[in-house]
Each structure stands twice: as structure tokens, then as C-alpha cells.
Homo-oligomer: A and B are copies of this chain.
């Protein structure tokens, strides 16, 4: 069988390619994981196109890997068994605005910045903001989050309804438009975070929010990481409804200044943001200042005008790229553990000391309001010793988190890189996950090697 010819007959010739450059673009993501090429790249334009491709692939035991923009960080989109990379770039329409319901319906190829540009005209915004300008389909697939999850929740909290196509060609809607429901099993929550292993998402109905009346941002620098993390913890413990609380360590600020032309003080820093009415914010901010001063903060710098605030968060979002651009030819390995809040300070200090011990260069940063933090390390994937040290470090961070009730991945997902920690994290429920995988995808065509090892 000539795969390209068959797919071209199924759809149209212009929707299928085996061009080498295209295959390479769909062979890896933004992480250090090794490239594997798909046999074909397919561009569906509708749910029915996806149904045709999945039904065909299922009949012929051909692997299918849904692909958004390839910004994943654990090798999710790598076609471990070749087959079809299903690229949603042509399904990038905003299908319906329901501003009165705080809902929007989109195709999976819409990016978060594309959506926010449109929403702004309605006085609305979409909250979830990973570092990359990822597609919303990809963000749902990995249960992405970002800097605002501490206030507004993660991707799973924003998805009200999905249209999904199963490997056997069934098309179904998993939810509805109501703000809550106790009707039947929560399939929406199961497909969010399933990383393309159960089926393909072809439509999403998402919750959006009114742009807050008043926004204030601040940078707070400290003498050491511990004081920064302890301050963040106290803000949360005091129940301040903070919208963003990000840790950026000195090494990361240094990269940021170079990459984003900022001139922030190179010290352990909290980036904060407050949303609400002005009177309430002033009270909250005064209180947070007191807490920071209790930990000898060195400076408390407000970013009051919207331009400086935009620059602050743009620099934060660009941080992974700041590291990447400083190390041409190297690849990123990021840790992504999330721990119970009370374990956060210890976990961050443990990570920092282990990085130093293993002689790895990198930054510590993260969404510490959720107990989630990253270390970004640039490695030369041809240097076996460096790769081994980085992987050993990742394993140490994961072990440390799991022993304290945490998770191996707070927001990046399992992909290929965290498969090896699944059994330890989930125990007996990993078997149940596998049974569900087999129920929905008995021939194992959907993103093989992701979440579960290839058998």
C-alpha cells in the first residue's frame, strides 16, 4: 500500500505530504527528545476529515499523532512508530463567541494568542498561558497551565465541552454549556490530559473571563531563593486572591535581561500580579508588602503602566527561549514537578543543590503558587555524560516530589519522557488507565509510546 496515495484519495492531495522537511518539522518538539519521522503529514480541515483518517489508520494499524505547533516539552508529538502526524494548523477557526455565557468554541489549531486577540474586543480574556504560544488543542491534550492557574485554574478547569473522534471513527461531544453538571461520567476531564492517546480533539468549548477592572503587577527581589519561596507560601496561606505568583531565580533573570532587553535586578525574584477592584487590591498589596518585608526583600517594584506589565510577562513567557537562544545547538530538558505547598521550599532548595552537585547549568523558576516549579537545563545531546547527568537530576527531582505526595509533571504532561515514572506515581491506578486506553484504542494507534510504553 502506498500510504500517501491512499491518504490523498481519502482527503485531497493538498492535505497530505511526505516532504522531507515537513516530516522533520513533525519529528520532534521543543525538548531534548530524539527525532523520529512520521511517514506522512496530514492536514485535516474538519471533524469528518479526522474521522476518515482515524478510521483508515485503525483499519490498517497505522500510528496517528495529533500535532498542534510542536511546542510540547516531553516528546509528545514524536511519532515513535512513524505513521501519520495529524497537523491541525488548518483547523484554526474561532467557531462561536458566546460572550454572555463567557464561552467560546474553537477548533484545536487556534493558538492562545490568536484567541486572546479576538476576545479582547469583547472585554474578555482566556487565562491559561503556557510559555509557548501553543494551540488550544495541544493545551487541552496536556492539561497545560501557566502563570494564572493559582487564581483561575488549569486547562481542565476551562474546558466545558469537547468534540472528539475515537480511533473507531465515533464522533462524540463530551460535555455541554452549563457551568456545572452532575450528569454521567466526566469524560471531558478524562480527554483533557490524555495527550492524544485516546482519540483526537476536533472542537473545544472554553470558559473565558472578563478582563479585570484593575490589574497591578510587581517584582520583588530577595537575598536568597528561600526567602522568595517562603514569602510566596505566606501569601497563599493568608488566602490573598493573587492572580500570579512566579519565582524567577538570579540565573534566570540574567538570561531574561539578555534575551528580552530588560534590566531587572539579578536576584531571586517574585513576579506578582493582582486582579480585582482598586480598593481591594491596595489592601492586598499592602499586606503582601508586609509579608515580603518580613523576609527582608531587597526591593518591591511596581509595574503600574500596562506596557511595563506586558513586558514583564512577555519576558517571563520567553524565558525558556532565553535559555535556548543562549545555547545554540543545545537542547532543553526541563523538570516539572509539583509538590504540596508545604514542601515547596525544600523541593526548590533540593533541586538547586542537586543541580550544583551534578555540575549542571540552569535556572530555577516556576508557578510556585501551585507548588509547581521548573529547572531549565540546556544540554548537548551528543554528550552522553551530560545527558546522563541531566536525566539523573530529573529523576532525583521526580523521586523527591513523589515521596512527598507530589507529581512528576505539573503541567507539561507525560509524553515520552515521563513514562518511566508513571507506575511509581500511580500504582494500581496505572493499570486502570491502561485498561481505559485499550478500551478506546484497542489497536494502539493513538500516539504510541506516550503515557504508556510501546509493548
- The chain A residues found within 8 Å of chain B, CB to CB, are 98, 100-103, 142-145, 149, 153-154, 156-157, 166, 170-174, 176-187, 189-190, 192-194, 209-210, 212-213, 237-239, 241, 276-284, 287, 336, 338-342, 370-372, 401, 404-414, 418, 421-422, 425-433, 435-437, 439-440, 451
Q: When the two chains form the complex, which single residue of B143, B179, B239 contacts A372, counting CB atoms closer than 8 Å? A: B179
Assess the A178–B371 pair: CB atoms within 8 A: yes
Taken together as a complex, chains A and B put the C-alpha atoms of A157 and B436 apart, in Å, by 22
Taken together as a complex, chains A and B put the C-alpha atoms of A156 and B181 apart, in Å, by 10
Interface centre among A153, A173, A180, A370 (most CB of B within 10 A): A180
Q: Within 8 Å CB of A426, what residues of B?
A: 173, 183-184
Q: When the two chains form the complex, which single residue of B418, B428, B433 contacts A170, counting CB atoms closer than 8 Å? A: B428
A21 CB, nearest partner CB in chain B, Å: 31
A119 CB, nearest partner CB in chain B, Å: 14
Q: Within 8 Å CB of A174, what residues of B?
A: 429
Assess the A339–B418 pair: CB atoms within 8 A: no
| Sample of 12 more A-B contacts, CB < 8 Å, known A145-B182, A183-B409, A278-B283 | A101-B342, A145-B180, A170-B428, A172-B427, A176-B406, A176-B425, A177-B405, A182-B336, A184-B193, A184-B451, A210-B239, A279-B282
Assess the A209–B239 pair: CB atoms within 8 A: yes
Q: Within 8 Å CB of A338, what residues of B?
A: 178-181
A425 CB, nearest partner CB in chain B, Å: 6
A279 CB, nearest partner CB in chain B, Å: 4
A182 CB, nearest partner CB in chain B, Å: 4
Residue of B nearest to A198 (CB): B185
Assess the A429–B279 pair: CB atoms within 8 A: no
Q: Within 8 Å CB of A287, what residues of B?
A: 277
Q: When the two chains form the complex, which single residue of B173, B278, B284, B341 contacts A427, counting CB atoms closer than 8 Å? A: B173
Using known A-B contacts A183-B422, A186-B189, determine if residue A407 contacts B176 with beta carbons closer than 8 Å: yes
Assess the B212–A340 pair: CB atoms within 8 A: no
A241 CB, nearest partner CB in chain B, Å: 7
Assess the B179–A371 pair: CB atoms within 8 A: yes
Assess the B100–A149 pair: CB atoms within 8 A: no
Assess the A340–B407 pair: CB atoms within 8 A: no
Q: When the two chains form the complex, which single residue of B181, B187, B339 contacts A433, counting CB atoms closer than 8 Å? A: B187
A284 CB, nearest partner CB in chain B, Å: 6
Q: Within 8 Å CB of A427, what residues of B?
A: 172-173
A147 CB, nearest partner CB in chain B, Å: 13
Q: When the two chains form the complex, which single residue of B153, B193, B210 contacts A185, counting CB atoms closer than 8 Å? A: B193
Taken together as a complex, chains A and B put the C-alpha atoms of A338 and B175 apart, in Å, by 13
Residue of B nearest to A177 (CB): B405
Assess the B340–A103 pair: CB atoms within 8 A: yes
Taken together as a complex, chains A and B put the C-alpha atoms of A41 and B138 apart, in Å, by 48
Assess the B103–A187 pair: CB atoms within 8 A: no
Question: Top 7 closest A-B pairs, CB basis?
Answer: A280-B280, A177-B405, A189-B189, A210-B239, A100-B342, A181-B407, A172-B428
Q: Within 8 Å CB of A371, what residues of B?
A: 178-179
Q: When the two chains form the complex, which single residue of B171, B209, B282, B439 contacts A435, counting CB atoms closer than 8 Å? A: B439
Taken together as a complex, chains A and B put the C-alpha atoms of A432 and B421 apart, in Å, by 28
A132 CB, nearest partner CB in chain B, Å: 15
What are some 27 contacts across the A-B interface (CB < 8 A)? A101-B340, A103-B340, A143-B180, A145-B180, A156-B186, A166-B432, A171-B428, A173-B426, A176-B406, A177-B339, A178-B340, A178-B370, A179-B338, A179-B341, A180-B411, A181-B407, A182-B407, A182-B409, A182-B410, A183-B407, A183-B409, A183-B426, A186-B186, A189-B190, A190-B190, A277-B280, A277-B287
A41 CB, nearest partner CB in chain B, Å: 26
Q: Within 8 Å CB of A451, what residues of B?
A: 184-185
A96 CB, nearest partner CB in chain B, Å: 11
Q: Within 8 Å CB of A101, what residues of B?
A: 340-342
Q: Within 8 Å CB of A176, what residues of B?
A: 405-407, 425
Residue of B nearest to A186 (CB): B189
Taken together as a complex, chains A and B put the C-alpha atoms of A276 and B240 apart, in Å, by 8
Taken together as a complex, chains A and B put the C-alpha atoms of A48 and B428 apart, in Å, by 16
Taken together as a complex, chains A and B put the C-alpha atoms of A183 and B185 apart, in Å, by 20
Taken together as a complex, chains A and B put the C-alpha atoms of A84 and B413 apart, in Å, by 41
